[in-house]
A = this chain, B = another copy of it.
Amino acid sequence: MTEKTALGVSSQDLPACPVETTLKLIGNKWEVLVLRDLMPGTKRFGELKQSIGGVSQKVLTAKLREMEASGLVERHVYAEVPPRVEYSLTPLGRSLKPVLDSLEQWGTAYKKKVAATVR
């Protein structure tokens, strides 16, 4: 128990292939977008829902819970009225920045290429 990463995760549960291991944690569209939108910093639930766009409350809640269990996301509840709940990335979550960056870089280059092909 060195630090607070993922709770009951054992090596046996993880695929042999590192790529598949990563996909197991962020292989879902919504998870990647949560990561993207929390990378700059803390956000409230409502902000997150809006910035992601097109996600239902139910699904967003479920994904945030999963990512919390994986040790990627931290949830902070403030005992106020009306209630305020803030989400942020853990160090482990922030360590995925290179992955996000590569996705963004490729997407940018691809969009440029498509735009150039059309005209």
Please report A residues at the B interface, Cβ cutoff 8 Å.
1-3, 5-6, 9-11, 14, 17-23, 25, 27, 29, 32-33, 36, 92, 95-96, 98-111, 113-118
Report the Cα distance A32→B111, complex, angstroms: 19
What separation, in Å, do the CA atoms of A98 and B18 have in the docked complex?
15
B118 near A18 with CB under 8 A, answer no
A19 to B51, CA, bound (A): 14
Q: Which of B3, B5, B19, B111 contacts A104 (CB 8 A)?
A: B19
- In the complex formed, the residue of B with least CB distance to A117 is B2
Smallest Cβ distance from A37 to chain B, in angstroms? 10
Which residues of chain B are near A101, meaning CB under 8 Å?
Answer: 102
